Amino acid sequence: MMKKYLTSIALSIVAAISTYGADITLNGAGASFPAPVYQLWTYAYTQITPDVKVNYQSLGSGAGINQIKAGTVDFGGTDNPLTPEEQSEANLVQFPMLTGGVVLIVNLPELKSTELKLDQKTLSDIFLGNIKVWNDPAIAALNPEVKLSKTKITVVHRSDSSGTSFIFTDYLSKISPEWKEKVGTGAAVKWPVGIGGQKNPGVCNNVAKIKGSIGYTEYTYAVEAKLKCVTLKNKDGKFVAPTPKTFSASAAGADWENAKGYYMVLTDTEGEDSWPITGITYILIQKDAPDKEKQQALYKYFNWCLTSGANSASKLNYVPLPKNLVEKIQNDVLK
């Protein structure tokens, strides 16, 4: 009896020490574009691995880059990829995590169940402020089945610096020389027209509130806010609706073998079903982290995200990376 008692005490002490020793907290911060998935992952991972705690703060891509550079977090999230030079300069390793779509959302009650169609020219002209009302002949010609009213167009964009804005302005720069010259590509740009909303939810909210508005956001936010998405003409001249299927079609043709430092932008890709504004979101980690135990826990976590976590990402309308790319990352980085 006494012996049993002692053993149980000894066992519980051992258990206490081992959990104490293995308690690791991994802190991450950055992009708000994949934040819904990251938050789901951190929760699910803590459930199955109680000794590792993962935190992710959705602060924006720029903040993620700044914080991982400063070393205040263990991993950073960004949609705005660092070039191979920038990576080696800051001694960081970058790899992709998820693919998602940036979609255009509109508040036009007269659309009812029909989709609004826009092509490259009308889209860039709307964001440049060249097209000011919805019944503009150029828009009407693309949408003969809808009777558009003379509602004023209100452009809604991000007021904060954002990786989503980077993906979107990168696309506009590719399809419109005028945009490229006047505005350019960036996480924050000099928007010619419109009003700014705070983060993805702020843009959705402003679009939901203002009649005649158009904005851009990550797909999941648009689905959650039940906002009407615009159908766009892609590089092959086909009109495509934003769905996980068209996002992955766009990602399918990417040449990862030759992408140094995983630097890749998936806007305006070829392919009949390709959604033109597809974005990849990246993870940044330090190349030679001093704490090896932490580094191993980090690798284990990302391995889990890329494999077991893929299913829950699909549920939130993101596209997990293709299998060969996951294997490449596992061999290159997470070993």
Instruction: Find where tokens 């993620």 sit.
Output: 64
Of 83, 78, 84, residue with least CA distance to 96: 78
- Is 309 exposed, middle or buried, given 0-12, 13-18 or 19+ CB atoms closer than 10 A? buried
Dihedral sign from CA coordinates of 301, 307, 312, 313: positive
Choose between 213 and 231: whose C-beta lies nearer to another protein.
213
Strands 239-240 and 75-78: unpaired
Closest residue by Cα to residue 237 from 266, 270, 278: 270
Choose between 210 and 259: whose C-beta lies nearer to another protein.
Answer: 210
191 binds another protein (CB under 8 A): yes
Told to check if 201 binds another protein by CB under 8 A, we report no
Written as one string, the DSSP assignment of 199-215 is HHHHHHHHHHHSTTEEE
Site string for another protein, 219-258 (x = CB under 8 A): ----------------------------------------
Secondary structure (H, E, C), 10-38: HHHHHHHHHHHHHCEEEEEEECCCCHHHH
Q: Taking CB under 8 A as the rule, does residue 215 contact another protein?
A: no
The least distance separating another protein from the CB of residue 30, rounded to whole angstroms, comes to 10
* 214/325 with CB nearer another protein: 214
CA separation for the pair 48, 40 (Å, rounded): 13
Q: What is the DSSP letter of 231?
A: E
Residues whose CB is less than 8 angstroms from the CB of residue 291 and which lie 6 or more positions away in sequence, other chains included:
none
The answer to the question of residue 39 lying near another protein (CB under 8 A) is: no
Q: Tell me the window of 186-194, 223-231, 247-255, 326-334 that interacts with another protein (CB under 8 A).
A: 186-194
- The token duo for 186 is 């960036």
Q: Which of 287, 332, 288 is nearest to 306 (CA)?
A: 332
Does 104 sit near another protein (CB under 8 A)?
A: no
Among 66, 130, 135, 314, binds another protein (CB under 8 A): 66
| Residue 211 binding another protein, by CB under 8 A | yes
Residue 210 makes contact with another protein by CB under 8 A: yes
81 binds another protein (CB under 8 A): no
Which of 63/131 has CB closer to another protein?
63
Closest distance to another protein from the beta carbon of 59 (Å): 6
Question: Is there binding between residue 195 and another protein (CB under 8 A)?
Answer: yes
Binding of residue 151 to another protein (CB under 8 A): no
Query: Binding residues for another protein, how many (CB under 8 A)?
Result: 33
Phi and psi torsions of 144, nearest 5°: -65, -25
Which region, judged by CB under 8 A, interacts with another protein, from 139-147, 187-195, 286-294, 297-305?
A: 187-195
Residues that bind another protein (CB under 8 A): 59-63, 65-66, 152, 154, 159-162, 183-191, 194-198, 205-206, 209-211, 213
